[in-house]
Amino acid sequence: MRQVFHDELEQVSTDLVELAHLVGSAIRRSTSALLDADVQLAEQVIEADQEIDGRRNQLDLKSIDLLARQAPVASDLRAVVTSMRMSSDLERMGDLARHVAKVARLRYPESAVPDEMRASFLQMGHVAERIVAKVADILVSQSLQGARAIEEIDDELDELHRSMFARLADSRWEHGSSAAVDVALLSRYYERFGDHAVTVARRVRFLVTGEIDGVDDEEVDVDDGV
């Protein structure tokens, strides 16, 4: 019974890693769609998000089934419940990639990003790719060091986000209010993407150490207005 349980839990973990890879692909392609004003690619990301949602639902049904059949307790129960939460975190990261793609689509054939800010968004995209790759890693390794690395990568995203908002608040901003709104929302999407990665990292830490502190979904928020 216990062996069956652990095999099935292993399968859930494998599914989570696949979900993380799909999310990584989504954020990479949505950044491309944004910077190249590539409406076809944007459509693909939007379409592919349904696959992510579908997989997440399947994964949750599997977990509920596991709860019903195996009635796990203690750390086993904690592992199943935490997996369900991580699937939700990953699904939300996928949604944020879709949000980026939707802004790209909305502004096509223009680019939503003023030329002078392209480099910053490229950097945000790269950092976001790195953070989700690290998430896939720690889902398997359950490494506390990896979890800490995710918080550090998130600090980079927060810093980029802050500098983006500083530029928007600068009186020399000359691209108009509509571009300001696009840039603000896009920057926020990447920043939130990082927050959810941190939430997964904290959940991994919770699984390993049993410490519940800081596993709150939204505590990692950075102030948008800073």
Write down the least CB distance from residue 145 to a copy of itself, Å: 26
Q: Do the Cβ atoms of 89 and 193 come closer than 8 Å?
A: no
Residue 5 in contact with a copy of itself, rule: CB under 8 A? no
CB of 27 to a copy of itself, least distance (A): 15
Q: For the CB of residue 110, give the shortest distance to a copy of itself in the complex, in Å.
A: 12
- What's the rounded Cα separation, in Å, for the pair 138 and 204? 7
Residue 169 binds a copy of itself, judged by CB under 8 A? yes
**Per rule CB under 8 A, is residue 84 in the interface with a copy of itself?**
yes
10 binds a copy of itself, rule: CB under 8 A: no
Among 73, 109, 145, 210, binds a copy of itself (CB under 8 A): 73
Indicate whether 119 belongs to the interface with a copy of itself (CB under 8 A). no
| Residue 53 binding a copy of itself, by CB under 8 A | yes
Which of 145, 223 has the CB closer to a copy of itself?
A: 223
By CB under 8 A, residue 106 contacts a copy of itself: yes
Site membership for a copy of itself, residue 177 (CB under 8 A): yes
Q: Does 91 bind a copy of itself (CB under 8 A)?
A: yes
DSSP per-residue letters across the chain: -HHHHHHHHHHHHHHHHHHHHHHHHHHHHHHHHHHHT-HHHHHHHHHHHHHHHHHHHHHHHHHHHHHHHH---HHHHHHHHHHHHHHHHHHHHHHHHHHHHHHHHHHTTS-SS-GGGHHHHHHHHHHHHHHHHHHHHHHHH--HHHHHHHHHHHHHHHHHHHHHHHHHHSTT--SHHHHHHHHHHHHHHHHHHHHHHHHHHHHHHHHHH---TT--TTTT---TT-
User: Which positions touch a copy of itself (CB under 8 A)?
Assistant: 53, 56-57, 64, 67-68, 71, 73-74, 77-78, 81, 84, 88, 91-92, 95, 99, 102-103, 106-107, 165, 168-169, 171, 173, 175-178, 180-182, 184-185, 188, 212, 216-219, 221, 223-226
